[in-house]
Amino acid sequence: MQKNKTTVSFLGLGTMGFPMAGHLANAGFEVMVYNRTESVADRWLQTYQGVKALTPAEAAKNAEFVITCVGNDDDVLNIFSGETGIFSTLPDGGICMDHTTTSATLAEDMAGFAKELGHQFLDAPVSGGQAGAEQGILTVMVGGDADAYEKAEPVMQAYAKSVKRIGEAGFGQRCKMVNQICAAGVIQGLAEGLALAQKSGIDADTVLGALQHGAASSWQMVNRTQTMMNDEFDFGFAVDWMRKDLGICLEEAEKLGLELPMTKGVDDAYALLQKAGHQRSDTSVLIKQFDLFDKENDVS
Which residues are marked as active site?
176
Determine the straight-line distance between the first and last CA of the chain, rounded to whole angstroms: 67
| β-pair partners for 105 | none
CA distance 102 to 154: 23
